[in-house]
Every structure is written in structure tokens, then in C-alpha cells.
Structure 1
Amino acid sequence: MRLRQKVLFLAITPLILALCAIALAVWHQSELLAQQQRSTIQQAYLSSKEAELKHYVTLAQHSIAHLYDAGRDDPAAREEAKRILSSLSYGDDGYFFVYDMQGNSLMHPRQPELVGRNLYDLRDEQGQPTIQKLLQRAREGGGLQRYMWIKPSTHKPVAKLGYVVPLPRWGWMLGTGIYLDDVEQALAKVDVQQSGNIHNTMLWIALIAIAAAVVVASSGVALNISELRVADAKLKVLAQRVVESQEEERARLSRDLHDGISQWLVSIKLQIEAGMIRLSSGQPGQTEAAQAVFEHAADQLSNVMGEVRRISHNLRPAILDDLGLAAALKHLGQEYTHSSGTPVQFEASGATDGLSDVANTVLFRLAQEALTNIGRHAAAGRIEITLHGEADGVTLCIRDDGKGFDAEGIALHPQRGIGLRNMMERMDAIGGRFSIESGSTGTVLTAFAANDS
């Protein structure tokens, strides 16, 4: 394989793999969010249906209250009550039904052929005893019950949500129900829309991958390599620098974005959706609850903006370029003292301005990582940072009086010690030396970087 082909292969393959990983992560998160949104919408629909059913049954009870509450129990009063209830309806398939407690159908305006029949043993397509469950709910004092029933307008079995109440003095069960096929249709539309959005997102990622691969391939073809050895050496150096810098900054940005901004944004999105659902419910008290949700989301947005400012500052501290490493480390210690309350003493000696820009950045990042680890794990009461310049290089020493840790064990652990390994890799990249000693009295970190010759 020629050098040009190697370059193309090494450039395109990681890019495609990274985009595939991103596509998989986006698809997985989209599926999770789609399921959560569907569940939320379904719950909102059913809650509105339940409230609607209770309201209908209450109205039906009021319509015969002048007969039932008067204490009448004669056949004429019962027939009049059945006549009133049979005349009540709502929507295309909304009606009321009456059964006695033995399962005999006494009134059914949409299916009069059932009147006079005993349906106690009636079972649906799944073998569930429909009337028995409704009667059991009525004996318990009334409530909601889901079951299958023939929808009058379509003559097909459909899931139905019923609400029944007992009329104990007459030995009746009064109820009504709402067919749930419209809920399923609405949820099906949501599913189709979500699937379309996910498909479009995957299509865009695929187009971006193709475009990126074409750009990389075109750039590779445009390379004019005159000498194999020189080009190979340059590519190795360039690849090493690019990979090192990219991986270091990607790892830091990934942690910052995932641990902070990403989680906050997901939380804000869910809160806004919850507030919108509460506003659309129209129930008393939901407006105030939605306002509280939106206010909390606004507070979290302020936190997100602060986190963005912090990340942008950490990407490249201006003081490091303007005033040098010593001033930048002193400022870093002052910021840490202000934010954590732990005093940081800084001392610089000798000539510390002979390092290259890369070495200055590495030592500064090393100090940042060390202070972060001390704040998270050491519980230190005092921190000392010393920077000493000599003829051959600069030594950075960070000492704390914290509780210490097993440095060797954590460095070898596959899932821990990421910050410690990052420090070692940074120093290896510039040809420096790194050591750390830790015990019950504290931890001492030492790093040496050679001057730029």
C-alpha cells in the first residue's frame, strides 16, 4: 500500500467509525426520548379521558336524582330513570348502560338486542370476563375499568375505558365508557412523526459522513508527495501532534459537556415539555405549576451559560500567553482559593521563561488537573505550588496535606485514575518526567520539562 493510500485509509477510516458511533448514540438517545414522549402523551390523554368519564357519570346521576333520591322504588320510577338515561348521549359512540348486580342488561340504547339478557359470563376475545369485572368495580364503590367492547359505529371490538357506579337501593350498576381507538391513532401519528425525525437525522449524518469522506479523499489525492522518507517523517510528526492535542482536548471537552451542559439541557427540555403538558391540560392549578417549572428551567439555563463561559476560559487561558507560566499558575491558585476556600501558596524561583509554548501549556494543564483531583478526592486543608527554573529546564511541584491514595494501584486500574494517566501522557508527549508520591500525610506531584533549545 502506497503512502498516499495509507494516508487516505488512516484519515477516512477513523472518521467513518466516529460518525457511525455518533449515529448510533444519536439513534439510541432519540429512541429513548421518543418512548418518554409517547408515555407522557399517553398518560395525558388517559388522564383527560378519566376526568371526562367521571364528569359524564356525575351528570347522569344528577339527571335521575329526583327519582332515586326521593326514595321511590316502584317500577314506574325505574322505567322513567331508564328512559332518561337512554336519551342521554355524547359524541358518536357515547352512551350510558344499566345492569343489575346479577349481570342482566336492563338498558343499552346502542345495542337494544342485549336488553333482558344475562351477560354475567360474557368474555372478550382475550377470555376476560367483561361484565364480571364491571360488577366487581361497582361493588367496590365504583371506579374505572378497561375492557374490550364492540364499537357501534364500526361494529368491531375496540379497547374501552369504562366508569361505573352502584345504585344499591335499586340493585343497579350505572356506567358509561369511552373508546380508546382515537388515543391509539394519536399515538400512532406520534410514532410515525418520531420515526420520520429519526430517519431524517440518520440521513443527515450519512450525508455528512459521505461529504466528509469525499473531502478527506479529495485532500489526500491533492497531496503532492515528492520524497517518500521526508513525507513519511513529516506525516508521523504531524499525526502524533494532531492525535495528542485532539484526544487531550476532546477528552476534557467530552467530560465537561457530558457531566454539565448535556445533562442540564436534557433536564431543561423535559421540564419545558412537562410545563407545556400542564398548560394544555386546562386543569385548575396547573398554570401555576407550569410557571414554577418554567422558572426552574430558566435558572438552569443561567447555569448552562456560566458553564459555557467556564469551558471557553479553560480551553486557552489568555494570561498564559500574555504574562507567562508563573503568572498563570499564580492566577490559577488564586482562582482555586476563591472557589474552594482552600488556601493555595505559590512560589516561583529561577528562570522559568525558557520553555516552549507547548511545554508551558502542558505544565499549566497539569496544575489544573492536579487541583481538580485535590478538590474532588483529597480533602486537603492547604496546597503548595512551586515553580523552579534551572539551566536545563523547569520543575513544577504541587504538594497537599490531604488524605492521600494508592498512586500505583489507581494508575494501573482500567476504570480509575483517568486524570493521573492524562498527566503522564501529557509529560511523555513533550519528553518530560513525571512522578507522584502519596501517603497518609499528603501527596506530592513533580513534573520536569526541558527548556526549548
Structure 2
Amino acid sequence: MKLRQKIILLAITPLILALCAIALAVRHQATSLGQQQRASIQTAYLASKKAELTHYVTLATRSIAQLYESGRTDAATLDQAKAILAKLDYGDDGYFFVYDQQGKNIMHPRQPELVGQNLWNMKDADGSLTIQNLISRANEGGGFVRYQWVKPSSHNTAPKLGYVVALPNWGWVLGTGIYLDDVNDALAKIDAQISGNIESTMLWIAAIAILSAVAVALSGLVLNISEHRVTDAKLKVLAQRVVLSQEEERARLSRDLHDGISQWLVSIKLQIEAGIIKLAGTPEQSASARSTFERTAAQLNDVLGEVRRISHDLRPAILDDLGLAAALEHLAHEFMAHTATPTDFNAVGTADGLPDVVNTVLFRVAQEALTNIERHAGARQISMRLEGNSRCVTLTVCDDGVGFDVDHIDGHPKRGIGLRNMTERLEAVDGKLSLTSSSNGTTVLAAVLRH
């Protein structure tokens, strides 16, 4: 395999792997959110149906309350009550039914052939003793029962949610129910929509992956064509510079983002997801969602402020305009204003004539040192000193904080990111970082030789 083909392959492979990982994460998250949405909708829908059934039965009992409370149990009174209940239907499949305590059907406006039959031992398609369960629940004070029953409009057996109450003076069990096949159809549509959205997202990611791979491949070909006459030695130097540039950029992004914006964004994401779920819930949950979104908006303002701060820190104008000493003095004043910790700065000799990259490195070292002091040291006094002569320039940052175990932090793979960043920056300009720490405080010394 030729060198140019290896370069293209090395560029495309990480991209494809990253996009595959993103696709898997997106699919998992979308599936999880879809399941949560389905469960929330199902819960809310059933809650509304239960409230509706309770209302219907209450309306039915009130419609015959005058007859029931009269104390009469003669056939004429009972027939009058049955006639009233038979007229209280709602829709094609909404009706009331009446059974006695022995399971005999007394009234059924949609299936009159059942009237007079004893259905005590009747079982539904699931093997449940439907009528016995209805009578038992009514005698317990009333409640809901799930069972299978023939749907009048389609003449097909469908799941049903019934609500029954007892009328003990007449020995009746009065109830009604709502068929749940409509609920299942609605949930099936939601499942289909979620699956369609996931599939569409996967197709978009696949398209992006293909286009990105093609773009990388074409870019590599164009680069190879334009650099065809470059010697092997120059190619090696260029490859080294590309690798170094990538590592420097990754290190810079890690320093700027590992403690701030990513954590905020995760918190904002979780709050938005919680708010969306609440919106599908009860009115109280919907009201709570508003406060969640207001809190999220406030956090977004904080994120924007952090982005502006990072943008400013990327390249402070005062460093180019007035030099390193002025930039460090301004940094000390800003830090003192931000943390209320006394911060002194002194400049001895001259640091003029340093390359811009060295000025930037020393400024970044001072920034990182102050950041570490703010987060970990608990210092009451900080001092910075910039000293320059004809041979070297040194930057010293001292604090009287709690200190730390230098060897432990330096050897820990997940800690000391800021210290490693300072060391890497100085090594890139042939500088050196020295660090001493005890319970009396910490001293950071950065030295760069003049060339």
C-alpha cells in the first residue's frame, strides 16, 4: 500500500469509527426516549379513560338515584331504572350493563340475547372468570377490571377496561367499560413513528459518513497530487508537524472544555428531557415543566458566558498589544476581582524580545496555575513574578494554600491534567516546569531560555 493510500486510510478509519459510535449512541438514546414517551402516553391515556369511566358510572347512578333511594324494589321500579340505563349510551361501543349477585344478566342494550342468562362461570379469551371478577370488584366498593369482550361495532373480541359499582338494595352490579383496542392502535402508531424516526436518523448518519469519507478521500487525493513532487524527507517533516498540530489542538480543547461547558450541557440536556416528559403528564407536571425550562434557560446564559470567556482566553489582545508583563498584570487583577483573593504581580528585568509563541506559553502557564489555585488550593495570598535577563525568562507563581502530593498527582492517570498541560506547553518551546508543594503552599516555576 502506497504512502498516500495509507494517509487516506488513516484519515477515514477514525472518522468512520467515530460516526459508528455516534450512531449507536443516538440509536440507544432514541430508543430509550421512545420507550419513556410510550409509557408516559399510555399512563396518561389510561388515567384519562379511568376518570372518564368513573364519571360515566357516577352519571348513571345519579340518573336512577330517585328510584333507588325511594326504597321500592317492585318490578315496575326496576324496569323503569333499566329503561333509563339502557338509554344512557355513548358512541357505538359505550353502554351500561347490569348483573345480579348470582351472575345473571339483567340488562345489556348491545347484546340483548344475554339478558336473563346466568353468566357466572363465563370465561373470556384469557381464561378469566369475567362476571365473577366484576361482581367481586363491585362488592369490594367498586373499581376497575380488565377483561376480554365482544366489541359491538366490529363483533370482534377486544380488551376492555370496565368500572363497576354495587347497588345492594336491589342486588345489582352496575357498570360500563371502554374498549382498549383504540389505545393499542394509538401506541402502535407511536411505536411506528419512533421506529421511523430512528431509521431516518440512521440513514442521515450513514449519508454523512459516506459523504465525509468521500470528502476526506478526495481531499487526500488532491493533496497527494499537489504534493507529488515533494521529497520523502519533507513528507516526514510534514507528517510530524500534522501530528504535533493535532495533539496541540486536542490538548487545548481538553483544557478549555473538560471542566466547564460539557458538564453544563449534560445537565441542560437532562433537564430538557425531564421537562419534555413532564409536558406529557398531568397539568401539575406540565406546570412543573415550565420552571424546569426556565432554570435551563438560565443555565444556557451561563454557558454562553463561559463560551465568551473561553473565546477571550484563546488569544488576549493585550498580550499582542502591550506585551507579556502587561498581560500578566491584567490577568492578576482580573483573577483578584473574580475570586477576591489578594494577587500581587511583580516584573523584574525585561521579557521583551521573546517570540510570540513563548509569550503565549508563559501566559497560559500563569492562567493554568491560577485556575488550579482557585479550584484546589484554598489560598489566602497569591504572588506572581516575571523575571528576565539575557539568558532566560522565568515566571513564578506562589500561593499559601493547602498544597498537595506532587508525586501522587503526577503519577495518577486521571488527575493532574492542568499540570501536564503546563509541562507540555513549556516542552514545546524548550522550556521547563518546576513544581514544589507542601502544607505551607505551592510554587510553580516556568523557565524558558533565550535563543
Q: CA deviation at 1:320?
A: 3.2
- Please, which moves more after superposition, 44-53 or 346-355? 346-355
- Please, which moves more after superposition, 290-299 or 386-395? 290-299
User: Using a 3 Å threshold, how does the CA distance of structure 1 residues 243 and 202 change in structure 2: closer, same or farther?
Assistant: farther
User: Using a 3 Å threshold, how does the CA distance of structure 1 residues 232 and 82 change in structure 2: closer, same or farther?
Assistant: same
2:250 is aligned, of 236, 246, 253, to 246
Match of 1:61 in 2: 61
Secondary structure at 2:413 match in 1:
coil
User: Using a 3 Å threshold, how does the CA distance of structure 1 residues 155 and 389 change in structure 2: closer, same or farther?
Assistant: farther
In the TM superposition, 1:114-193 aligns within 5 A as 114-193=114-193
TM-score where L is the length of structure 1:
0.85
User: Using a 3 Å threshold, how does the CA distance of structure 1 residues 322 and 148 change in structure 2: closer, same or farther?
Assistant: farther
User: Using a 3 Å threshold, how does the CA distance of structure 1 residues 73 and 35 change in structure 2: closer, same or farther?
Assistant: same
Matched to 2:244, the amino acid is Q
Q: Give the Cα separation in 2 of the matches to 1:118 and 1:394.
A: 103
User: Using a 3 Å threshold, how does the CA distance of structure 1 residues 133 and 406 change in structure 2: closer, same or farther?
Assistant: farther
Q: Give the Cα separation in 1 of the matches to 2:129 and 2:157.
A: 15
1:78 aligns with 2:78: yes
Match of 2:107 in 1: 107
Match of 1:309 in 2: 308
User: Using a 3 Å threshold, how does the CA distance of structure 1 residues 162 and 409 change in structure 2: closer, same or farther?
Assistant: farther
1:264 aligns with 2:264: no
Q: CA deviation at 1:228?
A: 0.8
Q: Give the Cα separation in 2 of the matches to 1:377 and 1:221.
A: 49
Tell me if structure 2 keeps the 8 A contact 1:355–1:450: no
Matched to 1:364, the amino acid is F
Q: CA deviation at 1:13?
A: 1.8
Tell me if structure 2 keeps the 8 A contact 1:3–1:232: no
Q: What CA RMSD, in Å, does the superposition of the two structures yield over aligned residues?
A: 3.1
User: Using a 3 Å threshold, how does the CA distance of structure 1 residues 288 and 414 change in structure 2: closer, same or farther?
Assistant: closer
Q: CA deviation at 1:4?
A: 1.6
Q: CA deviation at 1:58?
A: 1.7
User: Using a 3 Å threshold, how does the CA distance of structure 1 residues 242 and 117 change in structure 2: closer, same or farther?
Assistant: same
Encode CA deviations 1:228-287: one digit per residue, 9 max, x unaligned: 112211221222123321343156336544211343245246436644x46xx7x6x788
Length, aligned pairs only: 447
1:227 is aligned, of 231, 251, 255, to 231
Match of 1:400 in 2: 399
The answer for unaligned runs of 5 or more in structure 2 is none
Tell me if structure 2 keeps the 8 A contact 1:260–1:307: no
TM-score where L is the length of structure 2:
0.86
User: Using a 3 Å threshold, how does the CA distance of structure 1 residues 401 and 251 change in structure 2: closer, same or farther?
Assistant: closer
User: Using a 3 Å threshold, how does the CA distance of structure 1 residues 346 and 118 change in structure 2: closer, same or farther?
Assistant: farther
Encode CA deviations 1:339-370: one digit per residue, 9 max, x unaligned: 33333333333323444333333333333333
User: Using a 3 Å threshold, how does the CA distance of structure 1 residues 385 and 190 change in structure 2: closer, same or farther?
Assistant: farther
Tell me if structure 1 keeps the 8 A contact 2:383–2:397: yes
Secondary structure at 1:98 match in 2:
strand
Matched to 2:422, the amino acid is M
Q: Give the Cα separation in 1 of the matches to 2:128 and 2:101.
A: 18
User: Using a 3 Å threshold, how does the CA distance of structure 1 residues 188 and 383 change in structure 2: closer, same or farther?
Assistant: farther
Q: Give the Cα separation in 2 of the matches to 1:98 and 1:120.
A: 13
Q: Give the Cα separation in 1 of the matches to 2:416 and 2:121.
A: 67
Secondary structure at 2:95 match in 1:
strand
Encode CA deviations 1:198-227: one digit per residue, 9 max, x unaligned: 222222222222222222222222222321
Encode CA deviations 1:298-353: one digit per residue, 9 max, x unaligned: 44443443344334334443333333333333333333333333333333333234
Encode CA deviations 1:91-131: one digit per residue, 9 max, x unaligned: 22111222334444332222334434444454444444444
Matched to 1:400, the amino acid is D
In the TM superposition, 1:329-344 aligns within 5 A as 329-344=328-343
- Please, which moves more after superposition, 291-300 or 104-113? 291-300
Tell me if structure 1 keeps the 8 A contact 2:138–2:173: yes
Matched to 1:244, the amino acid is E
Tell me if structure 1 keeps the 8 A contact 2:350–2:387: yes
1:236 is aligned, of 228, 240, 247, to 240
Tell me if structure 1 keeps the 8 A contact 2:165–2:174: yes
Q: Give the Cα separation in 2 of the matches to 1:132 and 1:418.
A: 70
Residue identity (%): 55
User: Using a 3 Å threshold, how does the CA distance of structure 1 residues 434 and 30 change in structure 2: closer, same or farther?
Assistant: farther
Encode CA deviations 1:152-183: one digit per residue, 9 max, x unaligned: 33333433333222323333332222222222
Q: Give the Cα separation in 2 of the matches to 1:183 and 1:258.
A: 40
Tell me if structure 2 keeps the 8 A contact 1:261–1:307: no
Q: Give the Cα separation in 2 of the matches to 1:93 and 1:387.
A: 87
Tell me if structure 1 keeps the 8 A contact 2:271–2:293: no
